[in-house]
Amino acid sequence: QVQLVESGGGLVQPGGSLRLSCAASGSGFSIYAMGWYRQAPGKQRESVATITSGGSPNYADSVKGRFTISTDNTSNTVVLQMNSLKPEDAAVYYCTAELIVAGGDPYECWGQGTQVAVSS
């Protein structure tokens, strides 16, 4: 089946940058949209950024002007460039995709998550 694999998490100082990448693998599927969610300890999962297959992005207010989401449709990859990171950005970041396989119905697929830590 379809698998999402995230990479690029790590530890960065406040004001630093990280680039998260998520690749969808498999065959016989089409992606309608991809995005990133995050969940900090003891808090609810929240949407960070999403992007349609046509390239239209949406961002949470808290990350506008600092994060950029983009896709490479050829490789079924979504990238989240995170600049000017703040301690409140620390969380596990999850990649998600809205997709459909041949002969099936649309559904959401989730990656395993990648840890982002922001600390001096």
Per-residue pLDDT, 1: 79
Top-confidence residue, 90 or 27: 90
pLDDT, tens only, 19-65: 999 999 988 889 999 999 999 999 999 999 999 988 999 999 999 99
Q: What burial class does residue 39 get, using C-beta atoms within 10 Å of its C-beta: 0-12 exposed, 13-18 middle, 19+ buried?
A: middle
Residue type, 29: F
CB under 8 Å to 94, separation ≥6 — which residues?
A: 6, 36, 37, 38, 39, 45, 110, 111, 112, 113
Per-residue pLDDT, 4: 96
Per-residue pLDDT, 27: 86
